[in-house]
Structure 1
Amino acid sequence: MAAPAVEGVAVTALRSVLFRVRQAAERAGTQPKRVRVVAVSKTKPVSLIRQIYDAGHRCFGENYVQEFVQKAPQLPEDIEWHFIGHLQSNKVKTLLGGVPNLAFFEGVDNEKIANHLDRAVSSLGRNPLKIFVQVNTSGEPSKSGIDPSGCVRLAEHVKSHCPHLEFSGLMTIGMPDYTSTPENFRTLSKCRVEVCKALGMTEDQCELSMGMSGDFEQAHW
Protein backbone atom coordinates (compact mmCIF):
# COMPACT_ATOMS: atom_id res chain seq x y z
CA MET A 1 0.00 0.00 0.00
CA ALA A 2 3.05 2.28 0.16
CA ALA A 3 3.52 2.79 -3.59
CA PRO A 4 0.46 4.98 -4.29
CA ALA A 5 1.52 7.35 -1.49
CA VAL A 6 5.02 7.68 -2.96
CA GLU A 7 3.66 8.29 -6.44
CA GLY A 8 1.29 10.92 -5.07
CA VAL A 9 4.25 12.69 -3.51
CA ALA A 10 6.04 12.65 -6.88
CA VAL A 11 3.13 14.34 -8.66
CA THR A 12 2.90 16.93 -5.90
CA ALA A 13 6.65 17.59 -6.18
CA LEU A 14 6.37 18.04 -9.95
CA ARG A 15 3.55 20.53 -9.59
CA SER A 16 5.59 22.44 -7.03
CA VAL A 17 8.54 22.66 -9.43
CA LEU A 18 6.30 23.76 -12.31
CA PHE A 19 4.86 26.50 -10.09
CA ARG A 20 8.36 27.67 -9.14
CA VAL A 21 9.36 27.65 -12.82
CA ARG A 22 6.41 29.90 -13.67
CA GLN A 23 7.37 32.29 -10.89
CA ALA A 24 11.04 32.38 -11.91
CA ALA A 25 10.18 32.89 -15.57
CA GLU A 26 7.81 35.73 -14.79
CA ARG A 27 10.43 37.42 -12.60
CA ALA A 28 12.90 37.19 -15.49
CA GLY A 29 10.39 38.46 -18.04
CA THR A 30 10.30 35.12 -19.84
CA GLN A 31 7.16 33.32 -20.93
CA PRO A 32 6.81 30.18 -18.76
CA LYS A 33 5.84 28.09 -21.79
CA ARG A 34 9.34 28.69 -23.20
CA VAL A 35 10.90 26.80 -20.27
CA ARG A 36 11.20 23.04 -20.71
CA VAL A 37 11.07 21.00 -17.51
CA VAL A 38 12.70 17.57 -17.81
CA ALA A 39 11.58 15.14 -15.11
CA VAL A 40 14.67 13.01 -14.46
CA SER A 41 13.32 9.51 -13.91
CA LYS A 42 16.49 7.45 -13.50
CA THR A 43 16.14 4.64 -10.92
CA LYS A 44 12.38 5.33 -10.73
CA PRO A 45 9.92 2.52 -11.56
CA VAL A 46 7.74 2.54 -14.65
CA SER A 47 4.65 2.81 -12.46
CA LEU A 48 5.83 6.12 -11.00
CA ILE A 49 6.75 7.54 -14.41
CA ARG A 50 3.31 6.55 -15.63
CA GLN A 51 1.76 8.42 -12.71
CA ILE A 52 3.63 11.59 -13.72
CA TYR A 53 2.65 10.98 -17.35
CA ASP A 54 -1.01 10.61 -16.38
CA ALA A 55 -0.74 13.95 -14.56
CA GLY A 56 0.03 15.52 -17.95
CA HIS A 57 3.83 15.64 -18.09
CA ARG A 58 5.55 14.41 -21.26
CA CYS A 59 9.24 15.24 -20.89
CA PHE A 60 11.50 12.76 -19.07
CA GLY A 61 15.23 12.20 -18.75
CA GLU A 62 17.33 9.11 -18.13
CA ASN A 63 21.08 8.48 -17.96
CA TYR A 64 21.57 4.74 -17.38
CA VAL A 65 21.43 3.00 -20.75
CA GLN A 66 20.38 -0.50 -19.67
CA GLU A 67 17.67 0.83 -17.39
CA PHE A 68 16.53 3.26 -20.08
CA VAL A 69 16.13 0.68 -22.86
CA GLN A 70 14.15 -1.59 -20.52
CA LYS A 71 11.75 1.11 -19.33
CA ALA A 72 11.09 3.14 -22.49
CA PRO A 73 9.22 0.39 -24.43
CA GLN A 74 6.81 0.01 -21.49
CA LEU A 75 5.72 3.64 -21.69
CA PRO A 76 3.71 5.71 -24.21
CA GLU A 77 5.43 6.63 -27.47
CA ASP A 78 4.57 10.32 -27.19
CA ILE A 79 7.01 10.81 -24.32
CA GLU A 80 9.80 13.24 -25.17
CA TRP A 81 12.83 11.32 -23.92
CA HIS A 82 16.14 12.99 -23.09
CA PHE A 83 19.38 11.15 -22.46
CA ILE A 84 21.37 13.23 -19.98
CA GLY A 85 25.08 13.05 -19.31
CA HIS A 86 28.12 11.16 -20.52
CA LEU A 87 27.76 8.06 -22.70
CA GLN A 88 30.42 5.54 -23.67
CA SER A 89 30.68 5.22 -27.43
CA ASN A 90 30.17 1.44 -27.34
CA LYS A 91 26.67 1.99 -25.91
CA VAL A 92 25.45 4.39 -28.59
CA LYS A 93 23.72 1.79 -30.78
CA THR A 94 22.14 0.11 -27.76
CA LEU A 95 20.64 3.43 -26.69
CA LEU A 96 19.41 4.61 -30.10
CA GLY A 97 18.13 1.18 -31.11
CA GLY A 98 16.37 0.63 -27.79
CA VAL A 99 14.76 4.06 -27.56
CA PRO A 100 13.56 4.97 -31.08
CA ASN A 101 11.63 7.97 -29.71
CA LEU A 102 14.71 9.52 -28.08
CA ALA A 103 14.23 13.22 -28.77
CA PHE A 104 17.33 14.83 -27.28
CA PHE A 105 20.83 13.71 -26.39
CA GLU A 106 22.19 16.04 -23.71
CA GLY A 107 25.77 15.07 -23.29
CA VAL A 108 27.97 15.52 -26.37
CA ASP A 109 31.30 16.48 -24.82
CA ASN A 110 33.79 15.50 -27.52
CA GLU A 111 34.02 14.89 -31.26
CA LYS A 112 34.32 11.11 -30.85
CA ILE A 113 30.88 10.69 -29.26
CA ALA A 114 29.39 13.10 -31.81
CA ASN A 115 30.78 10.99 -34.66
CA HIS A 116 29.50 7.74 -33.12
CA LEU A 117 26.03 9.22 -32.67
CA ASP A 118 26.01 10.52 -36.23
CA ARG A 119 26.93 7.14 -37.71
CA ALA A 120 24.42 5.29 -35.53
CA VAL A 121 21.56 7.61 -36.45
CA SER A 122 22.44 7.12 -40.13
CA SER A 123 22.65 3.32 -39.89
CA LEU A 124 19.31 3.12 -38.06
CA GLY A 125 17.63 5.33 -40.65
CA ARG A 126 16.00 7.51 -38.01
CA ASN A 127 15.33 11.23 -38.12
CA PRO A 128 18.19 13.56 -37.14
CA LEU A 129 18.86 13.49 -33.41
CA LYS A 130 18.79 16.77 -31.53
CA ILE A 131 21.87 17.19 -29.38
CA PHE A 132 23.16 19.52 -26.70
CA VAL A 133 26.87 20.10 -26.19
CA GLN A 134 27.74 19.54 -22.53
CA VAL A 135 29.92 22.24 -20.98
CA ASN A 136 31.78 21.90 -17.67
CA THR A 137 31.06 25.38 -16.35
CA SER A 138 32.29 24.73 -12.79
CA GLY A 139 35.71 23.36 -13.71
CA GLU A 140 35.27 20.20 -11.62
CA PRO A 141 37.83 17.59 -12.76
CA SER A 142 35.43 14.74 -12.02
CA LYS A 143 32.62 16.15 -14.13
CA SER A 144 32.04 15.43 -17.82
CA GLY A 145 31.73 18.27 -20.28
CA ILE A 146 33.99 20.26 -22.52
CA ASP A 147 35.83 23.30 -21.21
CA PRO A 148 33.96 26.51 -22.08
CA SER A 149 36.85 27.51 -24.33
CA GLY A 150 36.17 24.50 -26.56
CA CYS A 151 32.40 24.72 -26.94
CA VAL A 152 32.49 26.72 -30.18
CA ARG A 153 34.84 24.25 -31.86
CA LEU A 154 32.73 21.26 -30.82
CA ALA A 155 29.48 22.91 -31.91
CA GLU A 156 31.08 23.74 -35.27
CA HIS A 157 32.16 20.11 -35.66
CA VAL A 158 28.61 18.88 -35.06
CA LYS A 159 27.20 21.43 -37.47
CA SER A 160 29.74 20.78 -40.22
CA HIS A 161 30.60 17.09 -39.93
CA CYS A 162 27.57 15.37 -38.39
CA PRO A 163 24.68 15.68 -40.88
CA HIS A 164 22.49 13.27 -38.92
CA LEU A 165 22.69 15.36 -35.75
CA GLU A 166 20.91 18.65 -35.13
CA PHE A 167 22.80 21.03 -32.87
CA SER A 168 20.09 22.37 -30.56
CA GLY A 169 21.81 23.90 -27.55
CA LEU A 170 24.22 23.77 -24.64
CA MET A 171 23.84 22.09 -21.27
CA THR A 172 25.60 22.02 -17.94
CA ILE A 173 25.05 19.89 -14.87
CA GLY A 174 24.97 21.82 -11.63
CA MET A 175 26.79 21.04 -8.42
CA PRO A 176 25.49 17.82 -6.80
CA ASP A 177 24.63 19.62 -3.57
CA TYR A 178 22.73 22.38 -5.40
CA THR A 179 25.41 24.99 -4.62
CA SER A 180 25.76 26.08 -8.24
CA THR A 181 26.46 29.76 -8.43
CA PRO A 182 24.93 32.19 -10.89
CA GLU A 183 28.41 32.48 -12.43
CA ASN A 184 28.23 28.85 -13.58
CA PHE A 185 25.02 29.56 -15.43
CA ARG A 186 26.27 32.88 -16.80
CA THR A 187 29.25 31.03 -18.23
CA LEU A 188 26.88 28.82 -20.23
CA SER A 189 24.96 31.87 -21.39
CA LYS A 190 28.22 33.46 -22.61
CA CYS A 191 29.06 30.24 -24.44
CA ARG A 192 25.71 30.51 -26.24
CA VAL A 193 26.54 34.03 -27.43
CA GLU A 194 29.86 32.82 -28.85
CA VAL A 195 28.40 29.67 -30.43
CA CYS A 196 25.51 31.51 -32.05
CA LYS A 197 27.88 34.10 -33.50
CA ALA A 198 30.15 31.38 -34.91
CA LEU A 199 27.31 29.29 -36.34
CA GLY A 200 25.15 32.15 -37.57
CA MET A 201 22.26 31.20 -35.29
CA THR A 202 19.92 33.31 -33.24
CA GLU A 203 19.95 32.73 -29.50
CA ASP A 204 16.36 31.51 -29.72
CA GLN A 205 17.65 28.62 -31.85
CA CYS A 206 20.12 27.53 -29.16
CA GLU A 207 18.52 26.26 -25.96
CA LEU A 208 20.26 26.27 -22.60
CA SER A 209 19.72 23.23 -20.39
CA MET A 210 20.78 24.14 -16.87
CA GLY A 211 19.65 24.03 -13.28
CA MET A 212 18.16 21.25 -11.19
CA SER A 213 15.20 21.36 -8.87
CA GLY A 214 17.29 22.88 -6.09
CA ASP A 215 19.09 25.60 -8.00
CA PHE A 216 17.32 26.47 -11.26
CA GLU A 217 16.16 29.83 -9.92
CA GLN A 218 19.79 30.92 -10.03
CA ALA A 219 20.04 30.13 -13.74
CA HIS A 220 20.44 33.09 -16.05
CA TRP A 221 17.22 33.28 -18.04
Structure 2
Amino acid sequence: MILENLEEVNKRILCACEKAGRDPKEVTLIAVSKTKPASMIEEAYGAGVRDFGENKVQELCEKYKELPQDIKWHMIGHLQRNKVKQIIGKTVLIHSVDSLRLAEQIEEEAGKQDLIIDILLEINVAEEDSKFGFKLEEAESAILKIATFPHVRIKGLMTIAPFVEKSEENRSVFKKLRQFYVDMQSKNIDNVNMSLLSMGMTGDYEVAIEEGATLVRVGTGIFGTRYKIGENEV
Protein backbone atom coordinates (compact mmCIF):
# COMPACT_ATOMS: atom_id res chain seq x y z
CA MET A 1 0.00 0.00 0.00
CA ILE A 2 2.71 2.47 0.97
CA LEU A 3 4.65 1.94 -2.25
CA GLU A 4 1.53 2.49 -4.37
CA ASN A 5 0.58 5.56 -2.36
CA LEU A 6 4.06 7.02 -2.74
CA GLU A 7 3.91 6.50 -6.49
CA GLU A 8 0.59 8.33 -6.61
CA VAL A 9 1.79 11.23 -4.45
CA ASN A 10 4.97 11.63 -6.47
CA LYS A 11 2.95 11.55 -9.69
CA ARG A 12 0.69 14.31 -8.36
CA ILE A 13 3.69 16.38 -7.28
CA LEU A 14 5.12 16.04 -10.78
CA CYS A 15 1.81 17.08 -12.37
CA ALA A 16 1.47 20.09 -10.06
CA CYS A 17 5.02 21.17 -10.90
CA GLU A 18 4.34 20.83 -14.63
CA LYS A 19 1.14 22.87 -14.29
CA ALA A 20 3.04 25.63 -12.47
CA GLY A 21 6.07 25.46 -14.76
CA ARG A 22 8.32 24.42 -11.89
CA ASP A 23 11.23 21.98 -11.66
CA PRO A 24 10.13 18.99 -9.53
CA LYS A 25 13.58 19.08 -7.92
CA GLU A 26 12.46 22.27 -6.17
CA VAL A 27 9.88 20.32 -4.12
CA THR A 28 10.76 17.96 -1.27
CA LEU A 29 8.19 15.45 -0.04
CA ILE A 30 8.15 15.02 3.75
CA ALA A 31 6.47 11.78 4.76
CA VAL A 32 4.59 12.59 7.95
CA SER A 33 5.09 9.50 10.06
CA LYS A 34 3.56 10.63 13.35
CA THR A 35 1.69 7.80 15.13
CA LYS A 36 3.05 5.32 12.57
CA PRO A 37 5.25 2.35 13.59
CA ALA A 38 8.87 1.97 12.56
CA SER A 39 7.94 -0.84 10.17
CA MET A 40 5.89 1.55 8.02
CA ILE A 41 8.68 4.12 8.03
CA GLU A 42 11.12 1.40 6.96
CA GLU A 43 8.85 0.55 4.04
CA ALA A 44 8.81 4.17 2.87
CA TYR A 45 12.56 4.36 3.49
CA GLY A 46 13.03 1.31 1.30
CA ALA A 47 11.20 3.17 -1.47
CA GLY A 48 13.73 5.98 -1.26
CA VAL A 49 12.09 8.43 1.15
CA ARG A 50 14.59 10.12 3.47
CA ASP A 51 12.62 13.09 4.86
CA PHE A 52 10.16 12.24 7.63
CA GLY A 53 8.05 14.54 9.80
CA GLU A 54 7.05 14.07 13.43
CA ASN A 55 4.93 16.26 15.66
CA LYS A 56 5.81 14.91 19.10
CA VAL A 57 9.26 15.17 20.64
CA GLN A 58 9.18 11.82 22.43
CA GLU A 59 8.12 9.96 19.30
CA LEU A 60 10.77 11.67 17.20
CA CYS A 61 13.49 10.83 19.72
CA GLU A 62 12.47 7.17 19.91
CA LYS A 63 12.43 6.79 16.13
CA TYR A 64 15.70 8.70 15.82
CA LYS A 65 17.40 6.01 17.92
CA GLU A 66 15.71 3.07 16.24
CA LEU A 67 15.81 3.94 12.54
CA PRO A 68 18.62 4.56 9.98
CA GLN A 69 20.88 7.48 10.75
CA ASP A 70 20.63 9.01 7.28
CA ILE A 71 16.96 9.84 7.82
CA LYS A 72 16.31 13.59 7.85
CA TRP A 73 13.89 14.28 10.69
CA HIS A 74 11.59 17.30 10.54
CA MET A 75 9.85 18.62 13.66
CA ILE A 76 6.50 19.79 12.32
CA GLY A 77 4.32 19.92 15.44
CA HIS A 78 3.98 22.47 18.20
CA LEU A 79 7.21 22.44 20.20
CA GLN A 80 7.11 23.17 23.92
CA ARG A 81 10.06 25.14 25.24
CA ASN A 82 10.81 22.61 27.99
CA LYS A 83 11.34 19.90 25.36
CA VAL A 84 13.68 21.80 23.05
CA LYS A 85 16.84 20.33 24.55
CA GLN A 86 15.64 16.81 23.72
CA ILE A 87 15.64 17.36 19.97
CA ILE A 88 18.60 19.72 19.51
CA GLY A 89 20.91 18.05 17.00
CA LYS A 90 18.37 15.41 15.97
CA THR A 91 16.39 17.38 13.37
CA VAL A 92 17.40 18.69 9.99
CA LEU A 93 14.73 21.38 10.34
CA ILE A 94 12.26 22.68 12.94
CA HIS A 95 9.21 23.89 10.99
CA SER A 96 7.11 25.08 13.89
CA VAL A 97 8.88 28.01 15.53
CA ASP A 98 5.78 29.94 16.52
CA SER A 99 7.03 32.47 19.09
CA LEU A 100 10.04 34.55 20.05
CA ARG A 101 10.25 32.71 23.37
CA LEU A 102 10.58 29.39 21.58
CA ALA A 103 13.28 30.79 19.29
CA GLU A 104 15.13 32.10 22.35
CA GLN A 105 14.97 28.65 23.96
CA ILE A 106 16.33 27.02 20.81
CA GLU A 107 19.15 29.59 20.75
CA GLU A 108 19.98 28.87 24.39
CA GLU A 109 20.06 25.08 23.99
CA ALA A 110 21.91 25.22 20.66
CA GLY A 111 24.48 27.52 22.22
CA LYS A 112 25.21 24.96 24.94
CA GLN A 113 26.09 22.41 22.26
CA ASP A 114 27.73 24.93 19.92
CA LEU A 115 25.31 24.01 17.12
CA ILE A 116 23.47 26.05 14.52
CA ILE A 117 19.84 24.99 14.23
CA ASP A 118 17.86 25.53 11.04
CA ILE A 119 14.30 26.69 11.59
CA LEU A 120 11.19 27.90 9.81
CA LEU A 121 8.87 30.49 11.28
CA GLU A 122 5.31 29.21 11.54
CA ILE A 123 2.86 31.80 10.23
CA ASN A 124 -0.83 31.63 11.09
CA VAL A 125 -1.91 33.18 7.80
CA ALA A 126 -5.63 32.53 8.30
CA GLU A 127 -5.40 33.73 11.94
CA GLU A 128 -7.29 30.71 13.26
CA ASP A 129 -7.66 30.62 17.02
CA SER A 130 -6.96 26.88 17.03
CA LYS A 131 -3.55 27.32 15.39
CA PHE A 132 -0.18 28.45 16.66
CA GLY A 133 2.09 30.84 14.78
CA PHE A 134 2.89 34.47 14.11
CA LYS A 135 0.37 36.69 12.40
CA LEU A 136 1.67 38.00 9.10
CA GLU A 137 1.96 41.53 10.42
CA GLU A 138 4.10 40.31 13.35
CA ALA A 139 6.41 38.13 11.33
CA GLU A 140 8.92 40.63 9.94
CA SER A 141 9.81 42.06 13.35
CA ALA A 142 10.22 38.50 14.68
CA ILE A 143 12.49 37.61 11.76
CA LEU A 144 14.65 40.68 12.41
CA LYS A 145 14.98 39.76 16.08
CA ILE A 146 15.71 36.05 15.55
CA ALA A 147 18.22 36.92 12.82
CA THR A 148 20.48 38.30 15.55
CA PHE A 149 20.72 34.89 17.28
CA PRO A 150 24.10 33.26 16.50
CA HIS A 151 22.92 29.65 16.90
CA VAL A 152 19.63 29.83 15.00
CA ARG A 153 19.31 30.19 11.23
CA ILE A 154 16.00 31.08 9.60
CA LYS A 155 15.59 29.08 6.40
CA GLY A 156 12.06 30.10 5.51
CA LEU A 157 8.41 29.94 6.51
CA MET A 158 5.72 27.37 7.30
CA THR A 159 1.96 27.46 7.57
CA ILE A 160 -0.86 25.04 8.36
CA ALA A 161 -3.78 26.07 6.19
CA PRO A 162 -7.39 25.66 7.35
CA PHE A 163 -9.15 22.32 7.08
CA VAL A 164 -11.37 22.72 4.02
CA GLU A 165 -13.54 20.54 1.82
CA LYS A 166 -11.99 21.79 -1.41
CA SER A 167 -8.25 22.41 -1.67
CA GLU A 168 -8.83 25.41 -3.92
CA GLU A 169 -10.21 27.26 -0.90
CA ASN A 170 -6.70 27.42 0.55
CA ARG A 171 -5.09 28.98 -2.53
CA SER A 172 -5.39 32.49 -1.09
CA VAL A 173 -3.63 31.39 2.11
CA PHE A 174 -0.71 29.97 0.15
CA LYS A 175 -0.56 33.05 -2.11
CA LYS A 176 -0.32 35.37 0.91
CA LEU A 177 2.50 33.42 2.48
CA ARG A 178 4.36 33.17 -0.82
CA GLN A 179 4.13 36.95 -1.29
CA PHE A 180 5.47 37.60 2.19
CA TYR A 181 8.23 35.04 1.57
CA VAL A 182 9.27 36.84 -1.62
CA ASP A 183 9.19 40.18 0.20
CA MET A 184 11.50 38.82 2.90
CA GLN A 185 13.85 37.37 0.28
CA SER A 186 14.19 40.79 -1.32
CA LYS A 187 15.33 42.37 1.96
CA ASN A 188 18.49 40.21 2.16
CA ILE A 189 18.48 40.13 5.96
CA ASP A 190 21.75 38.92 7.49
CA ASN A 191 21.59 35.34 8.87
CA VAL A 192 18.29 34.72 7.05
CA ASN A 193 18.36 32.31 4.11
CA MET A 194 14.78 32.58 2.91
CA SER A 195 14.82 29.49 0.67
CA LEU A 196 12.21 27.09 2.11
CA LEU A 197 8.43 27.37 2.06
CA SER A 198 6.67 24.56 3.93
CA MET A 199 2.99 24.47 3.07
CA GLY A 200 0.49 21.92 1.88
CA MET A 201 -0.68 18.63 3.36
CA THR A 202 -2.53 15.58 2.04
CA GLY A 203 -5.66 17.52 1.13
CA ASP A 204 -4.07 20.52 -0.56
CA TYR A 205 -0.41 19.91 -1.41
CA GLU A 206 -0.98 20.22 -5.16
CA VAL A 207 -2.40 23.73 -4.78
CA ALA A 208 0.45 24.58 -2.39
CA ILE A 209 3.01 23.48 -4.99
CA GLU A 210 1.29 25.60 -7.64
CA GLU A 211 1.67 28.55 -5.26
CA GLY A 212 5.37 27.98 -4.55
CA ALA A 213 5.76 25.38 -1.77
CA THR A 214 9.23 23.83 -1.60
CA LEU A 215 8.30 21.38 1.19
CA VAL A 216 5.01 19.47 1.35
CA ARG A 217 3.98 17.44 4.39
CA VAL A 218 2.01 14.32 3.46
CA GLY A 219 0.96 11.67 5.96
CA THR A 220 -2.44 10.16 5.22
CA GLY A 221 -1.73 10.22 1.48
CA ILE A 222 1.24 7.91 2.07
CA PHE A 223 0.51 5.88 5.20
CA GLY A 224 -3.29 5.76 5.08
CA THR A 225 -5.85 7.17 7.45
CA ARG A 226 -5.16 7.66 11.11
CA TYR A 227 -7.05 9.05 14.05
CA LYS A 228 -7.50 12.77 13.77
CA ILE A 229 -5.59 14.92 16.19
CA GLY A 230 -7.44 18.19 16.39
CA GLU A 231 -9.10 19.01 13.10
CA ASN A 232 -6.35 18.39 10.58
CA GLU A 233 -5.34 15.32 8.65
CA VAL A 234 -1.84 15.65 7.26
- Identify the match of residue 118 of structure 2 among 126, 130, 143: 130
Q: How does 1:1-221 map to 2 (within 5 A)?
A: 9-96=1-88, 100-126=89-115, 128-160=116-148, 162-177=149-164, 179=166, 180-200=169-189, 205-219=194-208, 220-221=211-212
Q: Is the 8 A contact 2:154 2:193 kept in 1?
A: no
* Cα 1:119/1:103, change in 2 over 3 Å: same
The CA distance in 1 between the partners of 2:62 and 2:157, in whole Å, is 28
Q: Is the 8 A contact 1:178 1:212 kept in 2?
A: no
Aligned residues: 207
> Runs ≥4 in structure 1, deviation > 6 angstroms?
none
The CA distance in 2 between the partners of 1:13 and 1:125, in whole Å, is 40
Match of 1:5 in 2: none
**Residue 32 of structure 1, CA deviation:** 0.1
Greater RCO structure (CA 8 Å; 6+ sep): 2
The CA distance in 2 between the partners of 1:186 and 1:136, in whole Å, is 13
**Residue 199 of structure 1, CA deviation:** 3.7
**Residue 204 of structure 1, CA deviation:** 8.3
Q: Is the 8 A contact 2:155 2:193 kept in 1?
A: no
The CA distance in 2 between the partners of 1:184 and 1:55, in whole Å, is 32
**Residue 165 of structure 1, CA deviation:** 1.1
Q: Is the 8 A contact 1:178 1:215 kept in 2?
A: no
* Cα 1:204/1:12, change in 2 over 3 Å: farther
**Residue 178 of structure 1, CA deviation:** 5.8
Matching residue's letter, 2:17 = A
Q: Percent identity?
A: 36
Using the size of structure 1 for normalisation, the TM-score is 0.88
Matching residue's letter, 1:164 = H
**Residue 85 of structure 1, CA deviation:** 2.7
CA deviations over 1:115-138 (Å, ceiling 9, x no partner)? 100111121233x11100000011
The residue matched to 1:76 in structure 2 has which SS?
coil
**Residue 196 of structure 1, CA deviation:** 2.0
CA deviations over 1:34-85 (Å, ceiling 9, x no partner)? 1011100000001110110011110000011111111111111111110003
The residue matched to 2:150 in structure 1 has which SS?
coil
Q: Is the 8 A contact 1:136 1:148 kept in 2?
A: yes
Runs of at least 5 residues in structure 1 that lack an aligned partner in the other structure = 1-8
**Residue 88 of structure 1, CA deviation:** 1.0
The structure richer in helix per residue is 1
**Residue 26 of structure 1, CA deviation:** 1.2
The residue matched to 1:166 in structure 2 has which SS?
strand
